[in-house]
Structure 1
Amino acid sequence: MEREQTVELIRTQLRKQRALAGMNQDEFGKRTNYSASTVSAVETGTRPVDLPYARHADEILETGGLFESLLHTAQRDAQPEWFMPWLKAERAATQLRYFNPTLIPGLFQTENYARAVLRFDDTRPELEIEQQVTARLERQEILKLERPPQIVAVIDESVLRRTDAIMAEQLAHLLRMADLSFVHIHIVPASAGLHVGLSGALSLARLADGTWIGHMENQLGGEQADKEERVATLLARWECVRGVALPRTLSVALIKEVESQHGPQ
């Protein structure tokens, strides 16, 4: 089913199931802690359905997870085709490795940061951007699994020092992520100078059978690396990048230092 069809199905079923339950938009909003105007915006398509809304609707309307399931389908369909193999690998991984010389990794992005990044493409309609933001935040559900993967992220110091207003919130969130026992965040300090990681971002996923899958993104999209030779190259480059990064405790201290320079949120 195409994403647009799935989204329309969600809106239609929300209206139908609400009506069958004998609730108008105001009553449904009070039960789900949303305003009547928000309920109307969701049902008319001017506001995308996010995961909390879908879960609240399933609970109040007793639909057995229907809306959450439909939303997952719509979000998968919203992802670009080239990203789907990596998304599948990311969800199945026991270990994840990320390096990005320019951005906070997607799994650790706040909603506002993700929205700002997705707006880099100024040809996208606002509704599509919001759908992509929802899909990106949905990826972060793996952080809430009972047995989440071990995640190691290496980030360049310059990424922390962006002066955008959203950075105080983003750095505070990054510190909360660093507090998770299975998350290891390392910062490449500016003093490291030139290093191999500056040639581009890379991601690696280790699956349950021990195999590794790599992923690289560029201006036109991204590609997966699953051939042994290419994966070996990415693993070697990862080790080089990890080697010039600060230890975990010093990395967290640097993030806190930069966060303090942004002032109170």
Structure 2
Amino acid sequence: MSGGILEGDRNMGLIRAQLRRQRVLAGMNQDEFGKRTNYSASTVSAVETGTRAMDTPFAARADEVLETGGLFVSLLELARRDGQPRWFRPWLDAERAADQLRCYQPTLVPGLLQTEAYARAVIRCDDKLTDAQVEQRLAARMDRQSILNKDEPPQFVVVLDEIVIRRVDEAFHQALADQVHRLIELAERPNISIHIVPADIAIHVSLTGPFILAKTADGGWVGNLENQLGGIVVDKDDALATLLSRWETVRNEALSRRQSTELMKEVVKSWT
């Protein structure tokens, strides 16, 4: 992953330099630019120096004020893609093009459904990342979620083990409570279905690890497997057939959509 981080850092540095250049060419100091974009001068300074990650709303406002025709939004999207590990980039392309997504996670809320606080806590578990790299990865993860808000979003079916919504300690309590509330809200969308495998199902075939499947408009499937060293993009027919079979098995072990929502509500209620 270090190669992706270095490449992403370099590209983000070029974007920050271009932002400063365009701002100066427009005859604006940081204070004036901040007023025009509805950000404080300190925020503008933090973005330009890299102590705060540039996000899509900031890039969009910069494009409007500097009249750059979407330049910064486009550069930011490219930088985020290049900042991802090389093995992950084909999956990102498949994810964006998918009309169906099927995800099983035995340990964590999937990245596409994570709140900012939950995602930051998960990313910070990697103690090799600097604060700036954490924020860069966080921004990229939040940006990925935009596929669920498209005019024609993919159908996203998620299966989680019950432990995912119960793994909590005192320091993580509020972040998980907010995360489960978010899952309940998302489950109300017609294109998102969340199912819980109850804790009394002690053993099932998919406990060996998480996976996600994407179905594209042409009817083909692509899979992604996560592991401690990164992940594997799966596109071979026999491997995909195995994952699709595993999906059917674990989906059948899970509660219905309504039952899963009720269980999530009970979990949150038990904490209050």
Taking structure 2 as the reference length, what is the TM-score of the superposition?
A: 0.93
Instruction: Tell whether 2:144 aligns with 1:144.
Output: no
Structure-1 separation of matches of 2:15 and 2:185: 33
The equivalent of 1:207 in structure 2 is 216
Moved over 6 A (4+): none
C-alpha displacement of 1:2: 4.0
Instruction: Tell whether 2:37 aligns with 1:47.
Output: no
1:247 equivalent among 256, 265, 270: 256
Structure-2 separation of matches of 1:5 and 1:121: 20
1:115 equivalent among 96, 101, 120: 120
C-alpha displacement of 1:127: 1.0
Residues 74-85 of structure 1: matches in 2 within 5 Å? 74-85=79-90
Structure-2 separation of matches of 1:257 and 1:30: 45
2:26 equivalent among 10, 18, 21: 21
- Letter of the 1:250 partner, please give it: Q
Deviations 1:197-218 (A, max 9, x none): 2111011111111111111111
The equivalent of 2:206 in structure 1 is 197
Residues 51-62 of structure 1: matches in 2 within 5 Å? 51-62=56-67
The equivalent of 2:40 in structure 1 is 35
C-alpha displacement of 1:6: 2.1
The equivalent of 2:177 in structure 1 is 168
Structure-1 separation of matches of 2:204 and 2:10: 46
Q: Please say if residues 8 and 84 of structure 2, whose CA atoms lie closer than 8 Å, have aligned partners that are also in contact.
A: no
Structure-1 separation of matches of 2:146 and 2:118: 17
Structure-2 separation of matches of 1:188 and 1:194: 10
C-alpha displacement of 1:19: 2.1
Deviations 1:37-71 (A, max 9, x none): 11101111111111111111112222110100010
Structure-2 separation of matches of 1:4 and 1:105: 25
Q: Say how many residue pairs are matched.
A: 263
Deviations 1:8-57 (A, max 9, x none): 22111211222233322122222222221111011111111111111111
* Shift in CA distance, 46/234, structure 1 to aligned 2, threshold 3 Å: same
Q: Please say if residues 101 and 154 of structure 2, whose CA atoms lie closer than 8 Å, have aligned partners that are also in contact.
A: yes
C-alpha displacement of 1:79: 0.6
With 231-240 and 174-183 compared, the bigger mean Cα shift is at 174-183
1:223 equivalent among 222, 232, 256: 232
Structure-1 separation of matches of 2:261 and 2:236: 35
- Letter of the 2:259 partner, please give it: L
- Letter of the 2:14 partner, please give it: L
Instruction: Tell whether 2:78 aligns with 1:73.
Output: yes
Structure-1 separation of matches of 2:64 and 2:35: 13
Structure-2 separation of matches of 1:199 and 1:76: 29
- Letter of the 2:157 partner, please give it: V
Structure-1 separation of matches of 2:59 and 2:160: 33
- Letter of the 1:261 partner, please give it: S
Q: What are structure 1's unaligned runs of at least 5 residues?
A: none
C-alpha displacement of 1:174: 1.2
Instruction: Tell whether 2:131 aligns with 1:126.
Output: yes
* Shift in CA distance, 15/262, structure 1 to aligned 2, threshold 3 Å: farther
Structure-2 separation of matches of 1:125 and 1:135: 15
- Letter of the 1:188 partner, please give it: V
Structure-2 separation of matches of 1:7 and 1:190: 43
Q: What are structure 2's unaligned runs of at least 5 residues?
A: 1-5
Structure-2 separation of matches of 1:19 and 1:204: 46
RMSD value, Cα? 1.4
Deviations 1:46-103 (A, max 9, x none): 1111111111111222211010001001100111111112111111111000000000
Taking structure 1 as the reference length, what is the TM-score of the superposition?
A: 0.95
C-alpha displacement of 1:224: 1.5
Structure-2 separation of matches of 1:261 and 1:39: 42
Structure-1 separation of matches of 2:271 and 2:93: 36
* Shift in CA distance, 252/29, structure 1 to aligned 2, threshold 3 Å: same
Percent of aligned positions with the same letter in both sequences?
Answer: 58
